[in-house]
Chain A
Amino acid sequence: GQNIDQPTEMTATEGAIVQINCTYQTSGFNGLFWYQQHAGEAPTFLSYNVLDGLEEKGRFSSFLSRSKGYSYLLLKELQMKDSASYLCAVPSGTYKYIFGTGTRLKVLA
């Protein structure tokens, strides 16, 4: 079957580094996406990985291992505004995507 697993909740301190993991099972693979969703808002696109390795984009980086069905989102120099849910998603067939339930990150002062 097709499935995505993420931790439900994480807490970290302002200025710290946090890693949010995502494991997935799909019948094929056509990339993995990370989205950020602040409470009361729609998801916004953060990153896309289709090849193994680390993609860095400012304070946010995303890693992919296709052989392990594993990805993580790395957030550095955490800020209070990073408190949000982070959703992992993979395409599942034509024009279909499976979304994880999201990891709710709380950044503490």
Chain B
Amino acid sequence: SAVISQKPSRDICQRGTSLTIQCQVDSQVTMMFWYRQQPGQSLTLIATANQGSEATYESGFVIDKFPISRPNLTFSTLTVSNMSPEDSSIYLCSVEDGNPGNTIYFGEGSWLTVV
């Protein structure tokens, strides 16, 4: 399966600031996905990032709040803008590997705490 690296792994952020999370994959992939997992909750898809086009956002998530870049087939960034305590969450980058099925594999996650 693909090896997915994320950074930062953890950060404490001030309210009103923005933070960019980086995701690097060890192989070329068409689609990359960004998930959020709020405390005690399950995973929610934020957006799908396809190289060469704008990201596709899920209901409840907007580009102004979560701008995404996908400059090439192995890298993506997610920015959490104008953070509030409600944005305290785990942010996970993931890819589909197709082995087996369309299995999703996750990066190590970025734990953000907004104070």
Contact = CB atoms under 8 A, between A and B. Distances in A.
A96 B41 CA distance: 18
Contact of B45 (A40, A45, A96): A96
Interface stretch (A19-27, A63-71, A75-83, A98-106): A98-106
Interface string B38-49: 000111110010
Contacts of A45: 1, 103-105
A72 interface: no
Contact of B108 (A30, A42, A50): A42
Contact of A43 (B1, B48, B101, B106): B106
Given A95-B48, A97-B45, A99-B43, A30 B101 contact: yes
B96 A100 contact: no
Contacts of B66: none
Contacts of B104: 33, 45, 89, 97
Given A42-B92, A42-B107, A100-B42, A48 B101 contact: yes
Given A91-B102, A97-B104, A42 B109 contact: yes
Contacts of A43: 43, 92, 106
Residue among A30, A40, A95 with max Cβ neighbours from chain B (10 Å) = A95
B81 to A, nearest CB: 23
A87 interface: yes
Contacts of B33: 95
Interface of B: 1, 31, 33, 41-45, 48, 90, 92, 96, 100-109, 111
List of 7 A-B pairs having minimum Cβ-Cβ separation, nearest first = A42-B109, A42-B106, A101-B42, A99-B43, A99-B42, A31-B101, A48-B100
